[in-house]
Structure 1
């Protein structure tokens, strides 16, 4: 997974560099990405220059989505969290989440186990690292350079009052900055999702394996906050069954009509979405659509 992720980043950055060169921008050196999963090299002279105008608050992982460890947890309690919510690093707090006192890496715990047989004496305080703090108002590219300089991969984000707003990683920053460069070039082909094809002004053919969160912005609707990963999952839930081979069912959700065009016995493969104008009845709009 890590190798695949780094390969994807390398490809994206290579294209981003070409786009940025065309626009006269200073670009990212791909050496930043070699250790993006662990730490950014302090010896690298790579920099992200001022082509990014986003702030940390735009991409922060909010505090309610953070997975944190209380500093006095036992070894078993820590391992229960790691097994159920596996990450590389965890913020460590004392008393409440606004008091982050450290960062623990999974490899620190593995190192402890290698050197100690008695886990009853395990204490996060003894093996955690000092936290690195940044302000939510800081610009993404400048924060990245600060974290790169300090060889920090995860930072705790503070709000204007000094409380914990959330966290950010260098990996998130690289994704955001590369995406920004790519989106500046309107002709860049990957800006147009391959999972959707516009058939007419308000009609789209959609691969039903598409993630719902990517469709929300395109269709202009919000899907239910249920455990639906793809459009196929959502449509089957709305229908209440998987369509039979001969069926091509239609359903209306908010102001979008979904016409199921291809499916197997287990999942929906494609659908045509028609977006209706607000305030116009479904029947009126339906009769205006091209066949």
Structure 2
């Protein structure tokens, strides 16, 4: 645990203990399924097939993923990690939380390959938002520990370590000791039960929203035919419509892989697809810019 002030480490432990009890029953069932059953011959064959499959393909959620999948399969690439330097000011840290929408951010010294720990939004709010008078902001004193894992570690092993240590974020370390990616507790749980929608995710009934004339923010699972009707533009020909049902599926088919966040894919109609949110396994949200004159 990083240094803390005013006894905050005691508060952290107490809160984390509460969080641990809240999730222990669910974690216990997951860990028991992982540690008390060995993969069958059919599962071993399936894993061999999965390891040679198209990197853009998606594994269905299921308890078997705890044995079958590795940390490197679910980690966010290093280029997409949102982190802050230990020298960051209060305003810079607040802005990083605001722009990312995350509740935990890694903190580093110099470069991301020298991580120091993580800062939790709750700690920042309690110390800087509610304290009166507000104490001097020292990021280093607010650090919590991080976990470190090799990309080859089974995700069930990391899940068990997260439960034991009550730490919900891990950095993936390569063979040279550098940071290769990041994985959170939510990433691991989603491989078992499917995508978890939280309060920051777009509501299910709002598949797209008009940001400004000619520009939409669209959920990747939005029905392609319905979105085409909304914008009055054909994005898929007859053959493509037989192959895909969603906008995310169309983008994946055009590119032949899962694109990275921030990537822009041009369409022959003149439209552009900007990847707003994605992880190594799926596209989540897309910004669609229509060709001029079509809005």
Shorter-normalised TM-score: what interval? 0.5 to 0.7
For structure 1, the residue ranges without an aligned partner over 5 or more in a row are: 1-34, 181-192, 243-265, 267-291
TM-score where L is the length of structure 1? 0.54
Partner of residue 223 from structure 2, selected from 195, 204, 211? 195
Mapping of 1:85-96 within 5 angstroms?
Answer: 85-96=100-111
Partner of 2:186: 171
Partner of 2:131: 115
Mapping of 1:19-30 within 5 angstroms?
Answer: none
Tell whether the 8 Å contact from 1:141 to 1:177 is kept in structure 2 after alignment. no
- RMSD value over aligned CA atoms? 3.6
Q: Quick one: higher RCO (CA 8 Å, sep 6+), 1 or 2?
A: 2
Distance 1:160 1:176 in 2: 25
Partner of residue 29 from structure 2, selected from 46, 59, 80? 46
Pair 1:40–1:55, CA change in 2 (3 A): farther
Partner of 1:249: none
Runs of 4+ aligned structure 1 residues displaced above 6 Å come to 228-232
- How many residues are treated as equivalent by the alignment? 188
Tell whether the 8 Å contact from 2:273 to 2:287 is kept in structure 1 after alignment. no
Distance 2:95 2:133 in 1: 19
Distance 1:111 1:150 in 2: 23
TM-score where L is the length of structure 2? 0.53
CA deviations over 1:182-215 (Å, ceiling 9, x no partner)? xxxxxxxxxxx89369xx993526999x443x32
- 1:43, distance to aligned residue in structure 2 (A): 3.8
Larger of the two Rg values belongs to structure: 1
Distance 2:121 2:143 in 1: 10
1:216 matched to 2:216: no
Partner of 1:72: 87
CA deviations over 1:26-69 (Å, ceiling 9, x no partner)? xxxxxxxxx9xx76857432224262211111111111111101
For structure 2, the residue ranges without an aligned partner over 5 or more in a row are: 1-15, 39-63, 196-220, 226-236, 258-264, 267-271, 277-284
Larger deviation, residues 44-53 vs 124-133: 44-53
